[in-house]
């Protein structure tokens, strides 16, 4: 007998879950940072030691990316990653209540980056920012809107649950950042061509293998979204690579460099290759702060 999925029941339960968890999320968000990170350590113990959340995925990703590391080295890196992952999750919640002053203190833009972005703004030149799931991209987005002149747009995937989706939307736009749903990116960017802005692409997600740009990334065949490259070429917006370094627990620095000044004159695959190589270099420098729990290599090249 086939079971019929009850969408009404599922929606009701997910709504109840949201309202049950919301006070807890706000309570965690207002905790002083020393206690806040003790909570993160406790969650890490549960996630890593008790539940083993995606441990097989993380270890396999690390093993294939670092074939020369020993088992002990990989396990140490695995533990460091889970501590970062739990910090990242709670730091994202912190955006619910963090002050503007604390946001800028915790996620600074390097002098070079501020100067570079301000020069674009002063020239009335919009640009494309490309980065990976590296460091704390959530804090970087909020901090950008407090430290830079141009309007920032971030591309995102709307969540299925409208309540959690609104919560994430409010967190990300609290200091002035605006969002594009991924499917609307090109249309919205064309609509806003007369505005001086920067659009952030997180380019290390997993596209469908058909029609993707294929390259070698972290010693593995990897598909890359064409979107960043194709939109940059069409609009001829300069492409700026952004890296978010973790200086110490709870503190980050955003640095950047011009990757391509004139995208319309690049060869096919050139932009995709350039930002992939930059991200790879960042990961090799600080591997524990990349999103290893993501199933980045689930597709194989035909």
- Give the residue extent of every domain in the chain: 7-94, 104-287
Q: Which residue has the higher pLDDT, 49 or 2?
A: 49
- pLDDT at residue number 1: 43
Is residue 207's pLDDT more than 80?
yes
Is residue 12's pLDDT more than 90?
no
* Residue 140 in tokens: 């970087």
Q: CA-to-CA distance for 172 and 67, rounded, in angstroms? A: 37
Give the whole-number percent of the chain exceeding pLDDT 90. Answer: 88
Question: To the nearest whole number, what is the mean pLDDT of the chain?
Answer: 94
The alpha helices in the chain, defined as continuous H runs, are: 7-29, 33-44, 55-65, 71-94, 100-106, 111-122, 137-147, 162-173, 185-191, 227-235, 270-285
Q: CA-to-CA distance for 99 and 105, rounded, in angstroms? A: 10
Is residue 4's pLDDT more than 70?
no
Is residue 271's pLDDT more than 70?
yes
3 — pLDDT class (breaks 50, 70, 90): very low
Exposed e or buried b per residue across 241-271, where buried means at least 16 C-beta atoms within 10 angstroms of its C-beta: bbbbbbeeebebbbbbeebbeebeebeeeeb
- pLDDT at residue number 162: 86
6 — pLDDT class (breaks 50, 70, 90): low
- pLDDT at residue number 18: 80
pLDDT digits (tens, 9 = 90+) for 140-176: 999 999 999 999 999 998 888 888 899 999 999 999 9
Segment 121-140 shows an average pLDDT of: 97
pLDDT digits (tens, 9 = 90+) for 171-198: 999 999 999 999 999 999 999 999 999 9
Q: What is the largest CA-CA distance in the chain?
A: 66
Exposed e or buried b per residue across 4-32, where buried means at least 16 C-beta atoms within 10 angstroms of its C-beta: eeeeeeeeeeeeeebeeeeeebeebbebe
Cα end-to-end span (Å), the chain? 38
17 — pLDDT class (breaks 50, 70, 90): confident
Segment 1-18 shows an average pLDDT of: 62
Residue 82, helix vs strand vs coil: helix
pLDDT digits (tens, 9 = 90+) for 77-114: 999 999 999 999 999 999 999 999 999 999 999 999 99
- pLDDT at residue number 203: 94
Segment 124-151 shows an average pLDDT of: 97
User: HSE of 2 in the Cβ direction (CA atoms, 13 Å)?
Assistant: 2
- pLDDT at residue number 16: 81
Give the whole-number percent of the chain exceeding pLDDT 70. Answer: 95
Q: Is beta strand 197-202 parallel, antiparallel or unpaired with respect to 127-131?
A: parallel
């Amino acid at each position: 007998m086939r079971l019929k999925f009850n969408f009404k029941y599922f929606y009701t339960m997910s709504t109840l879950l949201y309202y049950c968890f919301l006070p807890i999320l706000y309570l965690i968000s207002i905790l002083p940072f020393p206690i806040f990170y003790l909570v993160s350590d406790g969650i890490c113990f549960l996630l890593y030691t008790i539940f083993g959340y995606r441990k097989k995925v993380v270890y396999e990703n690390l093993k294939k990316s670092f074939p020369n590391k020993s088992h002990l080295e990989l396990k140490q890196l695995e533990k460091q990653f889970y501590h970062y992952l739990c910090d990242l999750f709670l730091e994202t919640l912190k955006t619910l209540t963090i002050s503007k002053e604390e946001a800028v203190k915790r996620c600074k833009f390097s002098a070079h980056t501020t100067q570079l972005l301000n020069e674009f703004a002063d020239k009335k030149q919009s640009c494309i920012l490309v980065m990976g799931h590296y460091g704390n991209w959530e804090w970087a987005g909020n901090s950008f809107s407090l430290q830079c002149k141009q309007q920032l747009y971030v591309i995102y995937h709307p969540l299925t649950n409208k309540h959690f989706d609104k919560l994430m939307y409010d967190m990300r736009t609290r200091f002035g950042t605006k969002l594009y749903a991924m499917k609307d990116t090109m249309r919205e960017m064309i609509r806003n061509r007369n505005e001086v802005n920067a659009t952030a692409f997180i380019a290390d997600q997993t596209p469908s293998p058909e029609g993707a740009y294929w390259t070698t990334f972290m010693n593995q065949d990897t598909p890359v979204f064409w979107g960043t490259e194709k939109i940059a070429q069409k609009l001829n917006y300069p492409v700026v690579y952004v890296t978010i370094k973790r200086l110490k627990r709870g503190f980050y620095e955003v640095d950047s460099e011009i990757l391509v000044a004139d995208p319309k004159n690049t060869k096919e695959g050139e932009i995709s290759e350039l930002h992939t190589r930059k991200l790879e270099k960042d990961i090799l420098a600080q591997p524990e702060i990349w999103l290893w729990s993501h199933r980045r290599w689930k597709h194989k090249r035909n």
